[in-house]
Amino acid sequence: MQLEDKVVLVTGAARGVGRACASRFAAEGAHLVLVDIAAPVEGVPYPLGTASQLDHTLELCRAEGAAALAMTADVRDLESVRNAVAQALARFGRIDVVLNNAGIAAPSGKAAHHIEEDEWQLMIDVNLSGAWRVIRAAAAGMLERRVGSIINVASTAGLVGYRHFAGYVAAKHGLIGLTRAAALDFAPFQVRVNAICPGSVRDDAAVEGRMLSEIARSLSVPVDEHEETFVQAQPMNALIEPEDIASAAVWLACDGSRRVTGTVVTVDAGFTAR
């Protein structure tokens, strides 16, 4: 029970990596605040998590014995984020850990000079500015109490470039920069900020993941062949499992990493080691 009685706020909790991390946090003894937009977003060309999927994540956490609260919020809107944080504080009195996981993979699939301005803005607004808004809303209480862990889910796209993914790559590089800068800002207050960079995460049906298949679509990779295609780029000849990301998140959230801040934990089966 590495996270016993800690209060953890997870964005993008309806499915995928967010659900995997939330249920693992619950199994480790945490109380959960589950946040997701749970609605379509104009400009994102694939379905996002739904209210019923968010409710299912809530049920999974409660089945682990966790006290849990689920709510909708849009990380593109600061007031929406502040309201979610306020509800969390009203229920639990504090937030100990933030997992900034909300993100989108598309609109992508075109060269940088073909990206429309609204497509660029949407990617930055969700994948980078969204994390900053959550930090802005949630950090004050952590700094006042002089304890806390903020974990930003970036990507190997925050470390290397990918053709036809300039917006996503720029946002994830920016998220790592935000992680390092905020880590220095908050270090005197014993509040830690770190990033996880997943590689190609398998779309596990148990968590209803679909990010990798959507990346494949953007790259014109046949969806029925996408796992084999992505595995070929992995030095360990295996895709990342959502549980692999959850394990890294638990370590960064728990007291065992109390002197770890400003760090990027890469979970990519060796992809960026080449």
Its pTM stands at: 0.96
Contacts 24+ apart (CB under 8 A), 75-79: 75/11, 75/37, 75/102, 75/126, 75/129, 75/130, 75/131, 75/133, 75/134, 76/125, 76/126, 76/129, 76/130, 76/133, 77/133, 78/133, 78/136, 78/137
pLDDT confidence of residue 211: 85
Query: Can you give the C-alpha Rg of the chain in angstroms?
Result: 17
Residue from 168, 186, 230, 271 carrying the catalytic annotation? 168
Average pLDDT estimate for 204-209: 90
Q: Which two tokens stand for residue 187?
A: 């270090």
Q: Write the CATH number of the domain with boundaries 7-273.
A: 3.40.50.720
pLDDT of residue 228: 87
- Rounded Cα distance, 9 and 22, in Å: 9
Res 223 pLDDT > 80: no
Directed axis angle between helix 117-124 and helix 166-186, to 10°? 30
Q: Where are the domains of the chain?
A: 7-273
Q: What is the pLDDT of residue 82?
A: 98
Residue 162 known to be catalytic: no
The closest alpha carbon to 8, from 76, 100, 127, belongs to 100
Burial class (CB in 10 A: 0-12, 13-18, 19+), 218: buried
* Span between the terminal Cα atoms of the chain, in Å: 36
Which of these ranges, 33-37, 134-138, 203-207, has the smallest mean pLDDT?
Answer: 203-207
Three-class SS of residue 269? Answer: coil
